[in-house]
Structure 1
Amino acid sequence: MAASTASQIIEAIGGAGNVKSLTHCATRLRFELVDAGKVDQHRLETMKGVLGAVPQSGDRYQVVIGGAVATMYENIMHLPEMAGVDAGKGAVAGDKAQSDADVKAAERAKVRGKVAWMDSFFEYLSDSCPILGVLLGASIIIALINLCISIGIVPGEEANTSLVFIKAIWKGVFYFLPIMIAYNASKKLKVDPWLGGSIMAALMTPQFADLMDSEKWKGVTTCVKSATLGTTSCSTKVFGIPMLLNDYSGNVFVPLLMAAVLALVYHGLKKIIPDSVQIVFVPFFSMIIVGALTAFLIGPLGILAGNWLGVGLAWLNGHAPFIFAILIPMLYPFLVPLGLHWPLNALMLMNIQSLGYDFIQGPMGVWNFACFGATAGVLFISIRDKNKDMRQTSLGALAAGLLGGVSEPSLYGIHLRYKLIYKRMLVGCFAGGVVIAVLGWLFPSVTAAGESVRGVTTNAFAFTSLLTIPVFSQMWVYAVSIAVSFIVSMVLIIMLDYRTPEQKAEMNAASESDGTAVETAPADAAPVATATATATATAVRTTTVGAPVAGHVVSLDDAGDPVFASRALGEGVGIQPTDSTVVAPVSGVLQTVAETGHAFGLKTDDGIEVLVHVGIDTVKMNGEGFHVAVSANQRVNAGDTLVTVDFDKVKEAGYSTTTLMTVLNTAALAGVTPKTGVDVQAGQEVLDIQR
């Protein structure tokens, strides 16, 4: 199954020739493509084993797999056609339909893809995610150690050398975190990653750290304690130039800034140094230039910026805790799908380093458990309705959340597909935020330094799962808050459902076609939902598909597009249009409507999935000459207008007007027979469906 899914992913992404490079993080495959317009997003979204597909700026694309991403990555890279992909030798393959109306893509489109440099910036930050696996592992070790100590199973560190060793395992992750981030960030910017790692490591050597010993370096090094930050700042002179000294262990901002500067220097040097000696002199000059810049300028600036960001949020937490505790869980549901949550995660690590504790993770845990509670509600409904596919999806997502603190499987597998979930889940976020705000004010946390802080704090970076509850100060406050957010979200989903009437009707149809149990509408369901479900239950099986536009019908082999000709998108026909109006070839729900008006995906009540692709490469016209008459999730009848097209303008732009139509789930049917070589009017039969 995994190998088959791997092949299907590559086919849907545009073929191996469309892949420049492929990497993966904790949950996602990250593609850099020759042309993102060749991606069949609808096929990816409906593919088993895929939780979601997320377009990025330029020609980058993410496919969300979940916890099995590493295995999927290996399966893909072992495909024969993927040989040489790392070298970036992909060739342009044929065009595939790209669906911009996908729910998650539309969510991202509100922010991402419009300002390319901003999109690239946040993509750069989020691409540090290959280290999330070790962070997750370390956070679980922290939680288990704290739990064992708190209940007296193991003695304190002073009397237990074994505990010292175990602590070293997780402390090593955070101490050397800057080197890991420098490696990943440099690799992202196409710089030798070992070079980035070595420059950051130079600032963490015992010799460099020893410069902060003002007793040893009397008259050279001076140290001053900051009353505001509670940290000690030291300075010395190197080559007669003042240098601020800092402890860079556990820092995130400095290696990110350093890698960005390194990329400029590294690529600049490659332009002026002859190829024959680049292997020696590019690293040599990069280490000297960027190493000095980091020690004298980038490092101190990064530390200062991170410290003051933490102080600013700490001020908000101390002076307006209600706003802070509610704001964080209400923002996270929108930050995570957009990939904008990593800067806050980086700030958590900075807080721990500079302040000795973090106060963001508590409210963040409220959002996480509201998310998991919504997933639990979906699981309850799927068990009640005997929906096998959704039961498997929600059970896996819930396990990843409660045990690992990972929200992506829930978000991409369920929540962003069924937007009603967000309305229920945000209530849970708000309720949990209010509870943590009130209890955190009444029962302040006490940090390791004895400082009283409003709200819930922790002195370790921990993914907010059931296993990491013991790492929080005022553990009971945190536990009550996340329990409230979890229960409220779950109960609201169970009471109000997570689907629209149309989505429930679609699930009913899918259950019928699969031979599984059909769910029944609740007694208090709206009349429209009952009517829709009734109509679905008595739906006539689709036996034919009409022409979406008047014109001459040709075989896919003669339509002019190699991907459609390969039948990768199912059997179908091409129509050379003689009219400007494109209509719905069948009755059903519009699952996808491209913003550019060039592609439409319909699904009938009995499960036939039809793709209408107007012209070839017309996505590049960006909607010019296309006047769309429908929207995604709208129910249409056969013959309803989808789009009116100025085909003369399409021809003037140099693109083919041939309109392609296929049955996407041909493989699940006994057969699809096209009628070609004839002239038809819109709505006349051009495809026969055999069950």
Structure 2
Amino acid sequence: MRTEDRRVARAIVVALGGAGNIRGLTHCATRLRFELRDASRVDARALDADPAVLGAVAQYGERYQVVIGGAVEDVYDAMMAMPAVRDAISSCDGDCDVVGDGGMADDAPVPHVPDAVLAAAPAKADSSAADPAAAAPDAPDRTDSTPVAHEMDTTVFPSSGVFAMFHGKRGITRRIAHCLNWFFEYLSDSFRPIIGVLLGASIIIALVNLCLALGVMPNDEASAGWVFVKAMWKGVFVFLPIIVAYNASNKLRVDPWLGAMIMAALMTPQFTGLMNAADADCVTDPTLGVRSCTVHVFGLPMHLNDYSGNVFVPLIMVLALAALYRGLKRVLPRSIRIVFLPFVSMVVITPLTAFVLGPFGAWLSNGIGVSLAWLSMHAPFAFAVLLPLIYPFIVPIGLHWPLNALMIVNVQTLGYDFIQGPMAVWNFACFGSTAGVLLLAVRERDDAMRRTATGALLAGLLGGLTEPSLYGIHLRHRLVYRRMLVGCAAGGLTGALLGWFFPSVTPSGGVMHGVIAWSFAFTSLLTIPLFSRMWVYVASIAVAFVVPMALIAIFDYRTKASAENVDDSRVGGQDADNPQTTGEKGITLGISENAPDDDGIVAGHADAVDDADAVGADGTVGVGSAVAADADADDAVAVVAPVAGAVLPIDDVSDPVFASRALGDGVAIRPDVEADDGPRTIAAPVAGVLKTVAGTGHAFGIRADDGIEVLLHVGVDTVRLEGEGFTMTVSKGERVRAGDPLATVDFAELRRSGVDATTMMTITNTAKMTSVTPLTGFDAAVGDPVIAVRR
């Protein structure tokens, strides 16, 4: 398990109010989904400040989502490895005490990173988390009006929960909203654990269809090879009811094996074979082609259906099982529960499902399939255009999961699905918007956005995942949504027009005016062969992709004022004889001599801070503080060197967490430790409050008065020295000015101990800054600017 995963897990737990505040935890492809005891304890600012968190979404009631991205499973595993988290979840039926340290196991310590990075959420750490009243005085107050997940563009989504609009209502309206929210979450939690399996199966189907189209594989379903290949993916969908029953039982805290076993009883060959009995009275649905039969069991009529692939039957069955299961737990003595709890549940729920719940679930799924098929056949234009326009608004609040269940129902009943074609239009409009942002980031040399957009685009095109794009980019810039909606409409209209003139042929020989899919799939480049007509599908998603990409590349995705701010401050090429480090906003700091640029801004490293008067009142050294700076650049600040040495790019350090910029962008300073000139002073790089001071004196977290959060870490893995060679001169909560001593370090002692003395300094809230420009490639003195920051 990676150190970074443990750090992220611990930071999230602390920000959520401690392990004891967590009632339940699940995850999907990109999000951690929490059930909390008290959502008011969540420190949204700490979550937002963590570079590993793409976004945080408060839902109705005490539910909370934290968007991680592709590393969500690793962070989930790291969190579930914490004994305090496991204990809190397993004992959630009782009262849980808040564990302020985040529940990190004693045998799985997080080395030097967490103590410093948690500077963004100090009020939630240690014992203060257990008592909100004891929190640090500067901790943000959590009230009903405190904004949550404040990076989300509220002009697009005015509420962060599915039914948050009813949060202040009372009576029947609020109860209905709560029940609907619970139902959708129950439905989605029953599918999330098998997303990977469904995605893998869909790719296998796509490859098989591609081989058939190219003639690589003969289309002979009677051959042993074909049967074997088909079994590789078909087993997922045939036994899907058993898998869903297991997950649904887990969600409702019922023995999952009990739920799976009851569903399996209705799918045994002997039970389904009753449909072929001589006395069976069978009928076939003319629209779906689904066969159902009636037989008599102990003199009672039983309606039999093929439950393969049906997801509604297990969902309904588990609801009844949970009600009985909890009732039995209240009345049965603990000593006999292990025997009679499953026995009574099986004896009651199995016949109830066979006679009542199963037929009802089959009728419900068939009815939905018939209704949607009618809508798609009689209103194909409205269906193809409106569905992509709706998806961008239901995905961020989780309402798209019920549609996933309907897609699976369609495949199992109709033999094809007609929802995924229009859904893919929205997906590729989303990916095209991200591609447009990436083009601008490359053109403007915006490294932070380039990295974010590249990862989100790859996750989308290859995996069909939209969350990295949504939470990493789109929800933070409302103009992206406007461009994307144009792409959704254009792609949907393209699919509707081409689908009308070139309809698809269904397995029964019917005609469908639109794109159909032969299996449930995550729409990506890899699953294109699953769709028919394939060229119509490709044309519609291509239009959906290109239109928003072009709109963003031409008209930008930022507001006019923000774009002008970038364009007006852009600086041209560098002089080869006078190399400069140029920021995104035109902050130019010469590193060979103190020559003013065209705007009169000077930032020579050698004389940038000649004396204490050069340091501003806020403790940050203004860019070009050695001389008069341009008035338009008064919001540019510099973070100065805490120790003398060679300034290097942060990705040159041996610490993988810092090198990956997981803790923000910054620099590394390599002190000259060859000369044994005694202890050296580590100076404060900015003025502000010490939010975190490592007990060993090797790490400091400072929140500057202007909101810049600086993490200073002396040496790599110096925590193992247990303070040897370090002498602290400050304490947590103390206010410092730029240049004030924080500690003294005997670098010669570090050298003798075999420790890398490279000092790392990053801006942990880089994502909130307009630009963070590391100034590297020179030897800095204490107080020289090494990072230029535009807020």
The two structures have a TM-score, normalised by structure 2, of 0.65
Q: Is the 8 A contact 1:186 1:193 kept in 2?
A: yes
Amino acid across the alignment from 2:635: A
> Secondary structure of 1:256's match?
helix
Q: Is the 8 A contact 2:503 2:533 kept in 1?
A: yes
Unaligned runs of 5+ in 2: 99-129, 133-138, 168-176, 572-580, 588-629, 640-684, 690-702, 714-727, 740-782, 784-791
Q: Aligned equivalents of 1:509 and 1:179: distance in 2?
A: 61
Q: Aligned equivalents of 1:309 and 1:608: distance in 2?
A: 63
> Are 2:193 and 1:125 equivalent residues in the alignment?
no
> Secondary structure of 2:396's match?
helix
Q: Aligned equivalents of 2:45 and 2:566: distance in 1?
A: 17
> Secondary structure of 1:7's match?
helix
Residue 429 to residue 105, structure 1, CA distance change in 2 (3 Å): closer
> Are 2:584 and 1:518 equivalent residues in the alignment?
yes
Query: In the alignment, which residue of structure 2 is the partner of 1:361?
Result: 420
Q: Aligned equivalents of 1:48 and 1:675: distance in 2?
A: 23
> Are 2:383 and 1:324 equivalent residues in the alignment?
yes
Amino acid across the alignment from 1:76: M
> Are 2:361 and 1:265 equivalent residues in the alignment?
no
Residue 467 to residue 608, structure 1, CA distance change in 2 (3 Å): farther
Residue 443 to residue 226, structure 1, CA distance change in 2 (3 Å): same
Amino acid across the alignment from 2:187: L
Q: Aligned equivalents of 1:490 and 1:237: distance in 2?
A: 61
Q: Aligned equivalents of 2:212 and 2:231: distance in 1?
A: 16
Note the alpha carbon deviations across 1:233-287, whole angstroms, 9 max, x for none.
Answer: 2111112111111111111111111111111111112122222212211211111
The structural deviation recorded for 1:100 is 2.7
Query: In the alignment, which residue of structure 1 is the partner of 2:711?
Result: 668
Query: In the alignment, which residue of structure 1 is the partner of 2:150?
Result: 102
Q: Aligned equivalents of 2:729 and 2:430: distance in 1?
A: 42
Amino acid across the alignment from 1:179: I
Q: Is the 8 A contact 2:303 2:359 kept in 1?
A: yes
> Secondary structure of 1:61's match?
strand
> Are 2:105 and 1:45 equivalent residues in the alignment?
no
Q: Aligned equivalents of 2:370 and 2:383: distance in 1?
A: 13
Q: 1:92-491 residue pairs with structure 2 within 5 A?
A: 92=98, 93-95=130-132, 97=140, 98=142, 99-100=147-148, 102-104=150-152, 107=157, 108-109=159-160, 111-113=162-164, 114=167, 115-128=177-190, 129-158=192-221, 161-213=224-276, 217-219=277-279, 221-491=280-550
Residue 9 to residue 240, structure 1, CA distance change in 2 (3 Å): same
Q: Aligned equivalents of 1:83 and 1:305: distance in 2?
A: 38
Note the alpha carbon deviations across 1:209-229, whole angstroms, 9 max, x for none.
Answer: 10111xxx212x111122243
Q: Aligned equivalents of 1:669 and 1:178: distance in 2?
A: 53
Q: Is the 8 A contact 1:57 1:112 kept in 2?
A: yes
Residue 277 to residue 664, structure 1, CA distance change in 2 (3 Å): farther
> Secondary structure of 2:275's match?
coil
Q: Aligned equivalents of 1:391 and 1:454: distance in 2?
A: 40
The structural deviation recorded for 1:425 is 0.4
> Secondary structure of 1:211's match?
helix
> Secondary structure of 2:395's match?
helix
Q: Which moved more, 1:359-368 or 1:29-38?
A: 29-38
Aligned to 1:23, which of 12, 18, 26?
A: 26
The two structures have a TM-score, normalised by structure 1, of 0.74
Q: Is the 8 A contact 2:197 2:236 kept in 1?
A: yes
> Secondary structure of 1:100's match?
coil
Note the alpha carbon deviations across 1:607-646, whole angstroms, 9 max, x for none.
Answer: 9999xxxxxxxxxxxxxxxxxxxxxxxxxxxxxxxxxxxx
> Are 2:48 and 1:14 equivalent residues in the alignment?
no
Residue 26 to residue 101, structure 1, CA distance change in 2 (3 Å): closer
Amino acid across the alignment from 2:463: G
Query: In the alignment, which residue of structure 2 is the partner of 1:641?
Result: none
Query: In the alignment, which residue of structure 2 is the partner of 1:648?
Result: none
Query: In the alignment, which residue of structure 2 is the partner of 1:497?
Result: 556
Amino acid across the alignment from 2:278: K
Q: Is the 8 A contact 1:50 1:63 kept in 2?
A: yes
Q: Which moved more, 1:278-287 or 1:97-106?
A: 97-106
The structural deviation recorded for 1:150 is 0.6
The structural deviation recorded for 1:176 is 0.9
Give the total of aligned pairs.
557
Q: Aligned equivalents of 1:242 and 1:332: distance in 2?
A: 43
> Secondary structure of 1:30's match?
strand
Aligned to 2:37, which of 34, 39, 57?
A: 34
Q: Is the 8 A contact 2:27 2:72 kept in 1?
A: yes
Q: Aligned equivalents of 2:15 and 2:216: distance in 1?
A: 53
Residue 259 to residue 104, structure 1, CA distance change in 2 (3 Å): farther
Q: Is the 8 A contact 2:22 2:88 kept in 1?
A: yes
> Secondary structure of 1:359's match?
coil
> Secondary structure of 1:406's match?
coil
Residue 504 to residue 86, structure 1, CA distance change in 2 (3 Å): farther
Amino acid across the alignment from 2:179: W
Amino acid across the alignment from 1:46: A
Q: Aligned equivalents of 1:688 and 1:330: distance in 2?
A: 52
Higher helix residue share: 1
Q: Aligned equivalents of 1:226 and 1:54: distance in 2?
A: 43
Q: Is the 8 A contact 1:212 1:234 kept in 2?
A: yes
Q: Is the 8 A contact 2:491 2:540 kept in 1?
A: yes
> Secondary structure of 1:396's match?
helix
Structure showing greater radius of gyration is 2
Q: Aligned equivalents of 1:505 and 1:189: distance in 2?
A: 53
Amino acid across the alignment from 2:427: N
The structural deviation recorded for 1:192 is 0.8
Q: Aligned equivalents of 1:230 and 1:471: distance in 2?
A: 22
> Are 2:154 and 1:91 equivalent residues in the alignment?
no
Q: Aligned equivalents of 2:412 and 2:686: distance in 1?
A: 55
Aligned to 1:539, which of 604, 614, 635?
A: 635
Residue 287 to residue 385, structure 1, CA distance change in 2 (3 Å): same
Query: In the alignment, which residue of structure 2 is the partner of 1:589?
Result: none
Q: Is the 8 A contact 1:609 1:665 kept in 2?
A: no
Amino acid across the alignment from 2:97: A
Q: Is the 8 A contact 2:57 2:161 kept in 1?
A: no
Q: 1:580-599 residue pairs with structure 2 within 5 A?
A: none
Residue 118 to residue 516, structure 1, CA distance change in 2 (3 Å): farther
Residue 392 to residue 162, structure 1, CA distance change in 2 (3 Å): farther
Amino acid across the alignment from 1:102: H
Note the alpha carbon deviations across 1:303-350, whole angstroms, 9 max, x for none.
Answer: 111111121121111111111111111111111111111111111111
Q: Is the 8 A contact 2:570 2:586 kept in 1?
A: no
The structural deviation recorded for 1:181 is 0.8
Residue 536 to residue 25, structure 1, CA distance change in 2 (3 Å): farther
Note the alpha carbon deviations across 1:53-75, whole angstroms, 9 max, x for none.
Answer: 11123322221112211111122
Residue 442 to residue 430, structure 1, CA distance change in 2 (3 Å): same
Q: Is the 8 A contact 1:386 1:519 kept in 2?
A: no
Amino acid across the alignment from 2:31: R
Q: Name the Cα RMSD after superposition.
A: 3.5
> Secondary structure of 1:62's match?
strand
